[in-house]
Amino acid sequence: ALPLNVVDAYVSTRDGREIVRGVSLEIREGRIHVLMGPNGAGKSSLAQAVMGHRNYVYKGKLLFDGEDITGLSTAERVKRGLTLAVQIPVEVEGVRVSEILVRVAQKFRGTKTMKEAMQVIREALEAVGLSESLLAREYMVGMSGGERKRLELARIIIQKPKIAILDEPDSGVDVESIPKIAAAIEKLAESGTGILLITHQPRLLTRLIPDKVYVMLSGRIVAEGGIELVRRIEEKGYTPFRGE
């Protein structure tokens, strides 16, 4: 299966600032792909543009299951099975975590009863190491960075998309939670979801062995390969890639 192909993508802001310059990626179902790069490389912009965010202009092909989806709205992309765990989840005041997660379970997993929905939700919270007491809180409101990232990942696990782009699911997360996050991502991939894991640090990748690694600098892919690229970044940072 070849669900998502980013082909020679150029991403710019509405006012014409070019951020991504000719990137091609292939994200396959059930596999883990990693996109690494320093801050400001354009990783989040690429992710947002792939989702059809209106702040960005995407030029190039974007094929999902062979179909060009560049003309589709974000909602239509999500309906087809593409989703993004954002780098900075937004607070939804006045709406409880449970309400949002139950809606996600109904919409994407077809749960019929509250009991069914709660079972799916409990499994997801457990997978990311979050307590059920969070369900009564307002969505993302007043949560720590780590709680937000884990709740965002739980939402994705409930959704079970065909393709999930995870934008720095490890940033702001405390060290003890990292193995849980890694295991949750691995489980998601095992269930068939194709993953593009965006990160600028290698710490999730001591347990999680990716099928493919892309390194992005200044809007371009400067290297692609396997886990050896992660090890190189671990040892020497991004400097060795700058000259390539």
Report the interface residues with ligand ADP, using CB under 6 A.
Answer: 13, 17, 19, 37, 39-45, 55
Q: How far is the CB of 110 from ligand ADP (least distance, A)?
A: 34
Cβ nearer to Mg ion, comparing 52 with 169: 169
Q: How far is the CB of 19 from ligand ADP (least distance, A)?
A: 4
Cβ nearer to Mg ion, comparing 200 with 232: 200
Return the one option of Mg ion, ligand ADP, none that residue 37 interacts with (CB less than 5 to 8 A, by type): ligand ADP
Cβ nearer to Mg ion, comparing 82 with 85: 85
Q: Where does residue 53 fall: left (phi above 0), alpha (psi -120 to 50 degrees), or beta otherwise?
A: beta
DSSP per-residue string spanning 175-206: GGGHHHHHHHHHHHHHTT-EEEEEESSGGGGG
Return the one option of ligand ADP, Mg ion, none that residue 84 interacts with (CB less than 5 to 8 A, by type): none
Q: HSE (CB half, 13 Å, CA atoms) of 155?
A: 24
Cβ nearer to ligand ADP, comparing 88 with 92: 88
Residue nearest to Mg ion (CB): 44
Total residues contacting Mg ion (rule CB under 5 A)?
Answer: 4
Return the residues of window 72-101 that contact Mg ion according to CB under 5 A. Answer: 87
213 DSSP β-pair partners: 34, 225
Kindly state the tokens that stand for 14.
Answer: 């509405």
Do 111 and 120 contact (CB within 8 A), yes or no? yes
Return the one option of ligand ADP, Mg ion, none that residue 131 interacts with (CB less than 5 to 8 A, by type): none
Burial tier of 228 (Cβ tally within 10 Å: 0-12, 13-18, 19+): exposed
Do 149 and 173 contact (CB within 8 A), yes or no? yes
Backbone phi and psi for residue 5, each to the nearest 5 degrees, phi listed first = -125, 115
Q: Is 44 among the residues that bind Mg ion (CB under 5 A)?
A: yes
When binding is defined by CB under 5 A, the residue of 14, 15, 39, 110 that contacts Mg ion is: 39
Listed in sequence order, the residues at least 6 apart from 78 whose beta carbon sits closer than 8 Å to its beta carbon are 51, 161
Cβ nearer to ligand ADP, comparing 70 with 171: 171
Return the one option of ligand ADP, Mg ion, none that residue 83 interacts with (CB less than 5 to 8 A, by type): none
- Pairwise CA distance, residues 224 & 77, whole Å: 26
Cβ nearer to ligand ADP, comparing 47 with 105: 47
The residue ranges that bind Mg ion (CB under 5 A) are 39, 43-44, 87
